[in-house]
Chain A
Amino acid sequence: MITITDLHASINGKEILKGLNLQVKAGEVHAIMGPNGAGKSTLASVLAGREDYEVTQGSVDFDGVDLLDMDTEDRAREGLFLAFQYPIEIPGVSNINFLRTAINEIREHKGEDAISAKDFMAKVREKSALVELDSKLASRSVNEGFSGGEKKRNEIFQMAMLEPKLSILDETDSGLDIDALRIVANGVNKLKSKENASIVITHYQRLLDYIVPDVVHVLYDGKIVKSGPKELALELEEKGYDWIKEELAK
């Protein structure tokens, strides 16, 4: 699905990613954990194409295409989805209108016809139920006046509507209470299939009780320094990150 090779990226001349390697196959869920400042959100931003970051070295192959060569919107149209850590409020732009525009641009990119109003509304009903998002929220302005939990559910709702190949969840769990967390995780799990994959970026092991990863990676100082099965997350929760730093120092 995605192969990241020796990725280096910097912002304002400061190098944040320092040779990151990662491979995720279709059907897999990978978790990326790491201390603050390790580069977790930078990785999400670079993959989504945020222009503040400069990629100085390395490559990203996304299902046969060169991801780094594409504009943000083309990455999305090719099937990459980023669930934002801080979803943006957009007053006056309705969720529905925005999603229909997005779906139709993606379909046009694929050479498909625009979605009919009827099919679109049926899809809105089905997918909003999946994340228990009040259908009233679906027709309101994007994220405007939403609670923290509603914003994150709206991210997963959009993900469900757009049906991406690869989803990157950037700290989707932070700030959520346990009920909201369950709903979000449940949504992600239901969307899981053999054809798609997820990268779950998190600071807390708690999310991984609900979204069970196939592989857990530790991101530290701009690189993946350790990878292992889901139990690695528990170990990190218990011992913190210091032991990794010590291990690296040896």
Chain B
Amino acid sequence: MSHLISNDKEFLSTLKKSKYISKEAEEKAEKALANTSLPNTRNEAWKYTRVAKLNKIKFANNEFKIASIDKYIIDHNAYNIVFVNGNYSADFSSKETIDSVTISLIDESSQVSSNLPVEDEIFNSINTLFLNGGVEITINNKAVVNKTIQIIHILKGQDQISNFRTIINAGDNSDAKIIQSFFAEEDCANSFINNISEITVNKNAHLVIDKIQYENEQTYHISTEEVTQDKDSTFTINTITLNGMLVRNNLNIAVVGENCTTNLNGAYLLKNKQHVDNHTVVDHKVANCNSNELYKGVIDNNSTAVFNGKVFVRKDAQKINAFQSNGNVLLTDDASINSKPELEIYADDVKCSHGSTTGQLDDEAIFYLRARGISEKNAKKLLISAFVEDVFEKIASESVNQFIEEKLIERFHWNN
């Protein structure tokens, strides 16, 4: 292995190669990894997000036990699949089966071979080569899954890396809801989850994913979702980032069938020195589809956020409606946002719009609320919650909304 671990990848030097992947995938990933380095800010896609400091940590992957998952359960009626540092936790996972759904853990028998691009994608190749675990969920054709599937990932310990993979296959005409939630135990520091989801939404399938990121201020989280949508399908992903020192989300959606709807909603609330970067790509390869993207951020203290949303409309992909909007509120002079919505359109009969706004809370509105007896602190909270509310409104799950509210109270001291 030593040949691929040059100085710039010392952080991987003590990791063991995964036995869960196919020989072919291993070879591809190994080659790709040897040819790539951690991106620096000269790399356009990583211009505002510095990951070089990962190389200062000697990562390990330990199988830790945890005492309880009570505080990590968002939906108490859901089917739970629990992982600690990417390793399956049988103690806390549901045992029964769900009708019309096949859930299989990624292990030695899986020999994962996927189409995940690894060339120049260092985190994809690391995830493949050192894969610690994950789950493959197959929803049968025509299955209407009434039970929400909740995948809970918990980081625990110091200097830990979790290379975690979720593979979701939503069958034709199926309907399902999945919660992906990410936490860190209190003792967790300098740890890193490298998370990948490969999602296939087949013909006329409806899939909703609520993704909640709530690690701690000493953790790294890099996620990549590779989504493919076939015709007549609807895919919705709500990405809510409420904690984590450095969070990067790469959401790549390829719409390859006609008459699809794609909904991407995101909210990020940052404080202290957090850094949250959302990179999204919706690639409309064919005609007659809709995509709606709404991301909103509240950025406090010295924190920084990045939004880069790209929409491609390929040649002959006519009658596309693509809407994209990113709004940000900066609560201090030291908070910052780099927002870049991009449209690349090669068809001529489309309706696309994008917009980005950044501002401060309206002083006049704060004064107005205070003049009615509301404290300055509560006035600001009313305005902030009004600002992000239209993202939370898109989340259909009552329990997810309630969980978010609890976390806003816990971490940002919102009341009522």
Contact = CB atoms under 8 A, between A and B. Distances in A.
B369 interface: yes
B368 A73 contact: no
B343 to A, nearest CB: 26
A105 B378 contact: yes
Interface stretch (B186-194, B313-321, B386-394): B386-394
Contacts of B369: 90, 93, 98, 102
Given A93-B382, A98-B382, A73 B376 contact: yes
Rank and list the top 10 A-B pairs by shortest CB-CB distance, nearest first: A92-B386, A76-B373, A102-B372, A72-B370, A88-B368, A106-B373, A73-B370, A93-B386, A102-B373, A77-B373
Contacts of B376: 71, 73
Interface in A51-106: 51, 71-73, 75-77, 81-82, 84, 87-88, 90-93, 97-99, 101-103, 105-106
A101 B416 contact: yes
B375 A90 contact: no
B378 A101 contact: yes
A102 B368 CA distance: 11
A82 B371 contact: yes
Contacts of B15: none
A162 interface: yes
B69 interface: no
B374 interface: yes
Contacts of A142: 368
A81 B368 CA distance: 11
B185 to A, nearest CB: 35
Secondary structure call for the B interface: helix
A98 B368 CA distance: 11
B364 interface: yes
B382 A50 contact: no
B383 interface: yes
Interface string A104-139: 011001000000000000000000000000000000
Interface string B367-411: 111111111101000110111011000000000000000000000
B386 A72 contact: no
Nearest to B379: A73
Contacts, number: 76
Nearest to B386: A92
Greatest chain A CB density within 10 A among B368, B385, B390 is at B368
Question: What range describes how many residues of A lie at the interface?
Answer: 20 to 34
A105 B375 contact: yes
A88 B370 contact: no
Nearest to A89: B365
Contact of B374 (A48, A91, A98): A98
B19 to A, nearest CB: 51
Contacts of A42: none
Contacts of A50: 367
Contacts of A106: 373
Contacts of A202: none
9 contacts: A51-B367, A73-B374, A77-B373, A87-B368, A88-B365, A88-B368, A92-B387, A141-B386, A162-B373
Nearest to B372: A102
Question: What range describes how many residues of B lie at the interface?
Answer: 20 to 34
A198 interface: no
A158 interface: yes
Given A97-B382, A101-B416, A90 B371 contact: no
Given A101-B382, A105-B378, A90 B372 contact: no
A75 B387 CA distance: 27
Given A71-B376, A90-B369, A91-B386, 4 more contacts: A72-B371, A75-B371, A93-B386, A109-B373
A82 B416 CA distance: 26
Interface string A178-214: 0000000000000000000000000000000000000
A70 to B, nearest CB: 11
Interface string A31-55: 0000000000000000011110000
Nearest to A158: B372
B368 A162 contact: no
B261 to A, nearest CB: 25
A72 to B, nearest CB: 4
B386 A90 contact: yes
A142 B371 CA distance: 14
A106 B373 CA distance: 6
A89 B378 CA distance: 17
Nearest to B377: A73
Given A72-B367, A84-B368, A98-B369, A90 B374 contact: no
Contacts of B390: 92
A99 B382 CA distance: 11
Contact of B373 (A73, A91, A97): A73
Contacts of A158: 372
A99 to B, nearest CB: 8
Nearest to B382: A93
Contacts of A99: 372
